[in-house]
Amino acid sequence: MSQSTRIETFGVEQIPDNQRGATPIDLFRLIFGGANTFATAVLGSFPVLFGLSFQAGVWAIILGVAVGAVILAPMGLFGALNGTNNAVSSGAHFGVHGRIVGSFLSLLTAVAFFSLSVWSSGDALVGGAKRLIGLPESNLTLGLAYGLFAVLVLVVCIYGFRFMLWVNKIAVWASSLLFLLGLFAFAGPFDADYAGAVSLEQPGFWAAFIGAALLAMSNPVSFGAFLGDWSRYIPRHTPKRRIMLAVLAAQAGTLIPFLFGLCTATLVASQAPQYIEANNYVGGLLAISPTWFFLPVCLIAVIGGMSTGTTALYGTGLDMSSLFPRLMSRAGATLLIGVAAIAFIFIGRFAFNLVQSVSTFAVLIVTCTSPWMVIMILGLIVRRGFYHADDLQVFTRGERGGRYWFQHGWNWRGLGAWIPSAAVGLCFVNLPGQFVGPLGELAGGIDVSLPITLSMAAVLYLALLHLFPEPASVYGPAGPRWIRLKSNAAPALSDAGIA
């Protein structure tokens, strides 16, 4: 049996050094494969849905992806440093009990993006098959498409990291080539001078531009909780710059599906504007596509649905097993969450029509995840990248104490920065027609939730570290960066159970 088809047995415990054979290139494949899908192309269509011109849309996407990638890149370091996922690593800054914040954030993010991936890919597959071979577009055919994707994704995730890596090796090249083929298919009627509905001189321009940039930024930010799931297989002494460059390169690669979505959305707006008015980009794309491109559309749907779904659901199972380590293995937790997510997909799509609501939910989750990421990154910098990986596993082993015990397993410096930052960020969210927070209109209709929550988390966390210094035991020989040192010993470990 090859390594790719052997079921992975590791959970969130520290991966032994002799089992870490992954490279930054593997990390690149997993990130890029997970984002090189129709779901990202749909995000690329939003500048047109917001009324922007093609040129303004390009700049909004580039700005959003670039800023999001810079924030995301350091999140790939924790897995290599500690040999575990990012939620467990967050125990160094939130406490070994407070790390459950990261676990639930990644759980909710994964279910939301897994559902969106299955819905968008299933709709594209059935819509393409309808025009290609006359397959009727009914609840039955849609249900079969959703079920096919969901079960295939679940099987890949149960087998684990190596099988996922093999799937994404194929997905990276296949999806990229198909998207580039799509750009060729639409090159003739494409007009780079598409003006949009909102010009620079109009008052609504900046609200639309910033809204489109923030949606593009949400794509890289959504990976923040999951990078450790994959980078934990990278040897700990791998140069940090190589890991971060792999993350940055993967996000740069997502410009392929982003620009595919933007370019084709301008054509839908020109040739079939009723679809743009109905916010139905996928339907509009199928309506204007040449017949020969339907098969590539179906292939993009299948490959993209597989790669995005696996990167989301794998992290979900890993996190759930870390919360209940004595009850569930990684494979068992993945199966349980996968079945629950499949039920959610069918109920949400056919009983309640929650697709738009889940899109909103995903944005709100990202608003809560981004300040958590800022605290993690600042903590990494303050600690000079120094961690006691074994002490991070206290929760998993059912022990007490260790360097990250703080106050009964909670570090109120990290939690005290995250809770108000996430709450205020949610108040400033402005998604017209979907969700507008109580402070969402203060910036003239511009969604400033992410800049506010990111800056607030940074200021609060550094202030709390300065006012309430952490014990000296959490730092390495060089001591902390930027803040004063407090000399306290770490509580001794105990196997009496978690309080």
Within 13 Å of residue 441, how many CA atoms lie on the same side as its CB? Answer: 3
Contacts of 282 by beta carbon, 8 Å cutoff, 6+ apart: 38, 42, 120, 123, 124, 127
Give the CATH H-level superfamily of domain 23-354: Hydantoin permease (1.10.4160.10)
pLDDT of the chain, 499 residues: tens digit per residue = 444 445 444 556 678 888 888 899 988 988 887 777 777 888 888 898 888 999 999 999 999 999 999 999 999 999 899 888 888 899 999 998 998 888 888 777 777 777 777 777 777 778 777 777 777 878 888 888 888 777 777 776 666 556 666 666 676 677 778 788 887 888 878 888 888 888 877 777 888 888 888 888 888 988 888 888 788 889 989 999 999 999 999 999 999 889 998 998 999 888 888 887 776 777 788 788 887 887 777 777 777 666 666 666 666 666 666 666 666 666 667 777 777 777 777 776 666 655 556 666 767 777 888 999 999 999 999 999 999 988 988 877 777 888 999 998 999 999 999 999 999 999 998 876 677 889 888 877 777 888 899 999 999 999 999 999 998 889 988 888 888 776 555 555 554 333 3
CA–CA gap between residue 88 and residue 396 (Å, rounded): 9
Quick one: pLDDT at residue 35? 79
Contact present, 369 and 105 (Cβ < 8 Å): yes
Environment class of 456 (CB within 10 Å of its CB; exposed 0-12, middle 13-18, buried 19+): buried
CA–CA gap between residue 409 and residue 406 (Å, rounded): 6
CA–CA gap between residue 35 and residue 205 (Å, rounded): 28
Hey, where are the domains in the chain? 23-354
Residue identified by tokens 């504007």 is 273
How far the first Cα of the chain sits from its last, in Å, is 43
Categorise residue 95: left if φ over 0, alpha if ψ from -120 to 50, beta otherwise: left
Give the closest residue to 435 by CA, choosing from 369, 492, 489, 362: 362
3-state class (DSSP) for residue 232: coil
The alpha carbon of residue 498 and the mean position of all alpha carbons in its chain are separated, in whole angstroms, by: 31
CA–CA gap between residue 290 and residue 294 (Å, rounded): 7
Kind and range of the H or E element at 255?
helix 255-271
Quick one: pLDDT at residue 60? 94
Quick one: pLDDT at residue 212? 85
Quick one: pLDDT at residue 276? 76
- The two three-digit tokens of residue 426, written as one number: 């949610």
CA–CA gap between residue 488 and residue 109 (Å, rounded): 37
Contacts of 383 by beta carbon, 8 Å cutoff, 6+ apart: 92, 474, 475, 476, 480, 481
SS3 per residue for 166-201: HHHHHHHHHHHHHHHHHHHHCCCCCCCCCCCCCCCC
Quick one: pLDDT at residue 5? 45
CA–CA gap between residue 412 and residue 464 (Å, rounded): 9
Question: What's the angle, vertex CA 431, arms to CA 425 and CA 432, rounded to 5?
Answer: 140
Please tell me the pTM assigned to this model: 0.82
Residue identified by tokens 């300065």 is 466
CA–CA gap between residue 217 and residue 197 (Å, rounded): 23
CA–CA gap between residue 377 and residue 393 (Å, rounded): 20
- 436 phi, psi to nearest 5 deg: -130, 115
Contacts of 294 by beta carbon, 8 Å cutoff, 6+ apart: 128, 129, 131, 132, 286
Within 13 Å of residue 142, how many CA atoms lie on the same side as its CB? Answer: 13
Q: What is the DSSP letter of 348?
A: I
CA–CA gap between residue 28 and residue 307 (Å, rounded): 13
> Helix 281-288 crosses helix 294-323 at what angle (to 10 degrees)?
150
488-499 residues labelled b (16+ CB within 10 A) or e (exposed): eebbebeeeeee
Quick one: pLDDT at residue 184? 81
